[in-house]
A and B are shown apart, each in its own frame.
Chain A
Amino acid sequence: MASVRPYGHFTHAVVRGIPESFGRKAEGGETDGECETDLAKAQRQFGVLTGALRQKVGLQLIEIPPDPNLPESWRIEDVAVIQGDTALITRPWKQQRRSEAEALRRVLSELNLTVVEMGGEEGGSGGATLEGSDVLFTGKEFFVGISSHTNHRGAEVLADTFRDFAVSTVPVCGGARLKNVCSMGGPNTIVIGNSEGAKKTLRTMEQLTDHHYEVLTVPEDMAANCIYVRGASKMDFLLHRPTEECPNSAPAFQKLTDYTLLPTACSEAFKLGGVLSSFCLLINRKLQI
């Protein structure tokens, strides 16, 4: 099938800038008013992240301009799930976020991806919701975290879209998102947090998978979200939370020998529940075929 390649081969990254409304409490949104976010710092961090992806990792970066009317549009990961040359435009749990995809559609079309709409099924899908941050694609299969933002119907739509792959549902504890506690740390490596919830999620994944993965456990759940890209020259790049944000997890990443480790801060976004991977959609768009 189309996805013969192991996980990590990406050519493009789609990101969306931090709007000035960053951190503003969206109506009916979940954004926590308690924590104060530093817009400038958030934008700096965003800049570091995108810079790393472009200059260190060598991805072609496509940046969609921010839209002040869409305070959460920087979390572009939620809006689409992309595998191979198929992109599924998701149906976020929050109504107001469903318009975030408009700009993305154009980009994806330009990339010649097959865009599949999930929102179209709104009526028939019986309230299917799915957010990309609850989807872990390992290169061999999908895990969909059933969370407060993603439901079974949404997972079914995803399974129906990516028929070549097994799509397993896993529980996500504590109101978090699946990718808040885990991510891919290599072609065959899952980075997972050490909380009870994360462990439970991992056990479920191990139970459901037909494949074997290496597991890198990090003490802090937040550290478990990384961005792994296998670069052009077969270099392994890993963007992870810096020591100052995740002091206990730094040693764990040192175990990844031969990796190019790119500590990337994301403290401001984290205040809003965001993680590193929230910022980007990774795409492999080589001109294959």
Chain B
Amino acid sequence: MTTEAASETEVKKEPEKSEEQPAAAEPDAAAQTAEPAAGDGKKEPEQPKPAGNNPAGDNPGSDQPAPDGAAPPAPGEAPQNPEAPPPTSEKKKEKEQPAGKGISRFLPPWLKRQKSQSQEPPKEAPKEGSEPPAKDGEPEQGPEGKEPTPEPQPEAKEPPPEQEEKHSIGSADTQPVKEEKAEDEEVKETEEKKAEEVKKEEEQTAKPEGKPAKSPLKLTKKMKMVVCQVAMLDGTQFSCEVEKRAKGQYLFFKVCEHLNLLEKDYFGLSFKDNADQKCWLDPTKEIKRQIRSSPWQFAFNVKFYPPDPSQLTEDITRYLLCLQLRQDIASGRLPCSFVTHALLGSFSLQAELGDHDPDEHRLDYISDFQFAPSQTKELEEKVVELHKTHRGLTPAQADAQFLENAKKLSMYGVDLHHAKDSEGVDIMLGVCANGLLIYKDRLRINRFAWPKILKISYKRSNFYIKIRPGETEQFESTVGFKLPNHRAAKKVWKVCVEHHTFFRLVTPEQPQKAKFLTLGSKFRYSGRTQAQTRQASSLIDRPAPYFERTSSKRVSRSLDGAPVVSVTDSALKPDASAPALSSPVAEENGREPGLELPSDSKSKLRVKGENIYVRHSNLMLEDLDKTQEDVLKHQASISELKRSFMESTPDPRPSQWEKRLTASPATSLRLQAQGSADVKQKPEPGELAEVEIEETVVIEEIRKAPKAKPATPEIAAVPEVAVISAAAEKEKKEEKRRSREASTSSESHSESEEEAEYHPQVASVSVEQIKEEPEEEEKEEEEELSKETPPPAVSPAAEAPPDVTVVGKGAAVVVKEEVEEEESAENTAVPADEGQNGHPEAPPEEEEEEPRVNGDASHEAERIPQVICCSEPPVVKTEMVTISDTFAAQKTEISTKEVPIVHTETKTITYEAAQLDGSGDGEPGVLMTAQTITSESLCTTTTTHITKTLKGGLSETRIEKRIVITGDSDIDHDQALAQAIKEAKEQHPDMSVTRVVVHKETELAEEGED
């Protein structure tokens, strides 16, 4: 949530940021926020707070009311909180703990809650009146204060089975959504005012979320601390205790703090997976889920090699880059000629030892250094010879010279991956700042600059790039490569997406903000781009931090084996520490103040990237406008930038994740329910998860609608819902926000869950294979899809009202050329209205089919969340647009369980007729029959899945039609779709169309550069 909120807020914030940030900047406000955060446990603290609020609203039906009531007061109380920080901190801790305890599952709800809470506070404040705007700091505190009370309850609830919790959560989410919708309009007004506050809060929360701290451990029962070993570039080992559920970001921040590094965007943490492959730790995801069974051992590495190191702002950054390059050279990863080895080695000597001293520096004085993979006496002599010529160079100058020479190496910054070409020939894929390089042996045989790449995708173990047609070519071509396995393919894909974003884009954000409807999840780089980090770096004004160069450490290492971290710390000088090191309290929390502050960073982060995994990314689509805006915004809030820089790191994502987790319950359920389907979905983890998220959101919206109309008993089933109904208008508003948040959170949760599951699967080779297969099936084969669908279908049916036979006709339209935007726009419009009417449905089946997702969707999805935060209609939030038919609206129960999982990167638009779904849990019906019929004609391929299920004596026949319309933009897809739907209706007059899912697989021809 936070992340989403952050993103949204960020968008708005950027302008606002200046305002907000200043406020935050203000010692008082900052201190307050920081303290609470610290107390809570660093980043999480904030979350906990929100969680507390949410719980009140969502979780305990009975309890919630009270919390809600409490919540409103909170704003007023907020001031008090500052006074009594300890309690809040404790409470927070408690909250955190629950979250911590709650495994991913637990977390999700909490996160959701947290998110909602965070959002709520602002809303509440507005409602209450007048207090809100004036007090920036207060609102935040208020939420925190509220949180505490709710927290306890949530914790109690959490203990129950995860699944149940999830369900409840899901229901809760849905309810909130409803309320939100109703309230949205009202809220919007207030929101604008409060928006700023909220944003602030969100930012705060976001920061905390990003850093689940240790503090939780103390309080939480389940919270477990894990000691991470991080291999630093100087050869030392940095050990850091993190909460078991901490996200990559947290650890990364700790490491950067330890290093006193501000220009951290070039760096990352890596780990070795069980296949001994080096993987980057995703800052937005939980560490545990990424490393799985691998030991908690990481390495601090350069992730993005700056093409021009001289543009780095600080010497310490250059120094670290030097260390990385020395490592690369010594290991042979960065091939050099003899002369270059010698030259670079001589600069290393100059940097570490200073001027050559004939007396002190005998030939053997360099024996400790490794200049090349295989070091010869001849080389050492040459190094010494060159060392003598560097007399007078300061260490910083020597480093600069080192980099000036190293950057010219052809393999500088090239990340190589083994692959085979279409003919099975062994090649290497090299991802670098400029694009993708193809090597055969040592020879460069092809090169694809980013501007020439229209799309990057992977499927199974294949990696594809779609190339912009050349001057003499009419058609774009797709080049495919075979990687050793699915994971490798995804890894390359992710690296490509990250490099493209970092080096090629001004901001991580995607151009398509406006589109609410976009569907499809995409992985994106969430950090800052090079342009952003440069800008941020330009604002660094601290005295150059003191740091020790390797020599001493190297020595120590040689002596001790692993130098103690303390050395580094000591190395760090105060100046840097001042900003970075927050008050002791912050440290206690485990996070730097900077991290908490990151409102800016959050906003940035949000903007930059949301956690969406898109298989296909439209690299070419770059929104300059947005980026520029972002830039301007950034500029506007210089102070924030500074702070953010210090703290900066994309915290937002974590929050999203958490949110998603919370929301995820449904998905989790589904996953559990769906055996095979899950597996399939899992393979695509990130992406799938994302998609699911979107879908969940939709559901929530639908749910919201029902709530708004009647305080339906149905809702009662879900405690949270009940609470909502009870809640006063204020509460409703809050709930709405919450729901929104929840929805967003749900998304995040779903992702996280998927990831979690995914990882495990991945862990075992067999599992991976399975995953791959499923993915393939889903994407490519309709039949497989049908298989998958059945399970979900059943579950929905069970929940669905017994009386009604729901005939779902899902038409998946795969459009291959740029139709997306138009359609999406339409969809968005509709959904919002209908969303209210709509009832919760279980779209899973269709969504599952959707696997074919284009990269575009993901972008939109990310954007969407942001928009939502802004106070726009909840519907907007979701990428998936669900249109429920009026007739279907009869029953409104929240069926969270049925969340479609989309593996694809394509945009998916779902029109849903309200289905009569029973409670989400509904018993899965018995699958009577299932058959698949496929027919093709012209440009359309129709696949019909007929599924009969028995639920408690009621039989439900579900027909899913998948219609693939292939063609150029010439084809009127809308017309084709309409025709298809019409035909479907005619064929089955006695059935109703409950869902229409439109998958657009479009390749944005958005221009790239060049």
Give me the interface of A with B, judged by CB distance under 8 Å: 1-4, 84-86, 114, 141, 144, 152, 155-156, 159-169, 203, 207-210, 289
B445 at the binding interface (Cβ < 8 Å): yes
- Measured CB to CB, the closest approach of chain B to A119, in angstroms, equals 19
- Measured CB to CB, the closest approach of chain B to A109, in angstroms, equals 16
Contact B443 A163 (CB under 8 A): no
Q: Mark B310-341, 1 if CB is under 8 A from A, else 0.
A: 00000000000000000000000001111110
The docked-state distance in angstroms from the alpha carbon of A152 to that of B343 is 30
B residues 438-457 near A (Cβ < 8 Å) are 440-447
- Measured CB to CB, the closest approach of chain A to B534, in angstroms, equals 21
Determine the residue in chain B with the shortest Cβ distance to A86: B337
B408 at the binding interface (Cβ < 8 Å): yes
Q: A3 contacts which chain B residues (CB < 8 A)? A: 408
Instruction: Please pick, from A156, A209, A210, the residue contacting B442 in the complex, using a CB distance under 8 A.
Output: A156
The docked-state distance in angstroms from the alpha carbon of A86 to that of B337 is 9
Contact A1 B443 (CB under 8 A): no
The docked-state distance in angstroms from the alpha carbon of A165 to that of B343 is 15
Q: A84 contacts which chain B residues (CB < 8 A)? A: 337, 339
B residues 368-392 near A (Cβ < 8 Å) are 385-386, 389
Contact B443 A159 (CB under 8 A): yes
Q: Would A166 and B410 be within 8 Å (CB), given that A152-B440, A156-B441, A208-B447 are in contact?
A: yes
Instruction: Please pick, from B386, B408, B444, B447, the residue contacting A164 in the complex, using a CB distance under 8 A.
Output: B408
Contact B434 A210 (CB under 8 A): yes
Most A CB within 10 A of own CB, among B336, B440, B447, B470: B447
Q: A168 contacts which chain B residues (CB < 8 A)? A: 443-445, 447
Instruction: Please pick, from A164, A169, A203, A289, the residue contacting B409 in the complex, using a CB distance under 8 A.
Output: A164
Contact B444 A2 (CB under 8 A): no
Contact A4 B440 (CB under 8 A): no
Q: A210 contacts which chain B residues (CB < 8 A)? A: 410, 434, 447
Q: B340 contacts which chain A residues (CB < 8 A)? A: 1-2, 163-164
Q: A167 contacts which chain B residues (CB < 8 A)? A: 410, 442-444
B929 at the binding interface (Cβ < 8 Å): no
* 6 residue pairs from A and B, CB less than 8 Å apart: A1-B336, A1-B337, A1-B340, A1-B405, A169-B443, A210-B410
Contact B339 A1 (CB under 8 A): yes
- Measured CB to CB, the closest approach of chain B to A134, in angstroms, equals 13
The docked-state distance in angstroms from the alpha carbon of A114 to that of B337 is 11
Contact B335 A152 (CB under 8 A): no
B residues 441-481 near A (Cβ < 8 Å) are 441-447, 470
> Would you list the 9 A-B pairs with minimal beta carbon distance, nearest first?
A166-B410, A159-B442, A163-B335, A2-B339, A168-B444, A1-B340, A156-B441, A208-B447, A164-B337
Most B CB within 10 A of own CB, among A155, A209, A210: A210
The docked-state distance in angstroms from the alpha carbon of A86 to that of B340 is 12
Contact A114 B443 (CB under 8 A): no
Most B CB within 10 A of own CB, among A2, A86, A155: A2
Q: B434 contacts which chain A residues (CB < 8 A)? A: 210
- Measured CB to CB, the closest approach of chain B to A85, in angstroms, equals 7
- Measured CB to CB, the closest approach of chain B to A210, in angstroms, equals 6
The docked-state distance in angstroms from the alpha carbon of A203 to that of B343 is 35
Known: A1-B340, A85-B339, A210-B410. 11 other contacts (CB 8 A): A3-B408, A86-B337, A144-B443, A160-B442, A163-B335, A164-B337, A167-B443, A168-B444, A169-B444, A169-B445, A207-B447
Contact B337 A162 (CB under 8 A): yes
B contacts with A: majority SS: mixed
Number of residues on chain B facing chain A (CB within 8 A): 24
Most A CB within 10 A of own CB, among B335, B389, B443, B445: B443
Contact A209 B337 (CB under 8 A): no
- Measured CB to CB, the closest approach of chain B to A215, in angstroms, equals 14
Contact B444 A208 (CB under 8 A): yes
Determine the residue in chain A with the shortest Cβ distance to B307: A210
Q: A165 contacts which chain B residues (CB < 8 A)? A: 410
The docked-state distance in angstroms from the alpha carbon of A86 to that of B342 is 14
Instruction: Please pick, from B337, B386, B389, B446, the residue contacting A208 in the complex, using a CB distance under 8 A.
Output: B446
The docked-state distance in angstroms from the alpha carbon of A167 to that of B335 is 13
Q: B336 contacts which chain A residues (CB < 8 A)? A: 1, 163-164
Contact A164 B442 (CB under 8 A): no
Contact B337 A2 (CB under 8 A): yes
Q: Mark B86-125, 1 if CB is under 8 A from A, else 0.
A: 0000000000000000000000000000000000000000
Determine the residue in chain A with the shortest Cβ distance to B470: A203
Q: A152 contacts which chain B residues (CB < 8 A)? A: 440-441, 443
Q: Would A4 and B410 be within 8 Å (CB), given that A159-B443, A168-B444, A208-B447 are in contact?
A: no
The docked-state distance in angstroms from the alpha carbon of A164 to that of B344 is 12
Instruction: Please pick, from A114, A163, A289, the residue contacting B389 in the complex, using a CB distance under 8 A.
Output: A289
The docked-state distance in angstroms from the alpha carbon of A165 to that of B405 is 12
Contact B386 A289 (CB under 8 A): yes
Contact A1 B447 (CB under 8 A): no
- Measured CB to CB, the closest approach of chain A to B410, in angstroms, equals 4
- Measured CB to CB, the closest approach of chain A to B425, in angstroms, equals 11
Determine the residue in chain B with the shortest Cβ distance to A85: B339
The docked-state distance in angstroms from the alpha carbon of A114 to that of B382 is 13
Contact A164 B440 (CB under 8 A): no
- Measured CB to CB, the closest approach of chain A to B338, in angstroms, equals 7
- Measured CB to CB, the closest approach of chain B to A242, in angstroms, equals 34
The docked-state distance in angstroms from the alpha carbon of A144 to that of B440 is 14
- Measured CB to CB, the closest approach of chain B to A150, in angstroms, equals 12
Q: A2 contacts which chain B residues (CB < 8 A)? A: 337, 339-340, 343
Contact B409 A1 (CB under 8 A): yes
Q: Would A156 and B443 be within 8 Å (CB), given that A4-B405, A289-B385 are in contact?
A: yes
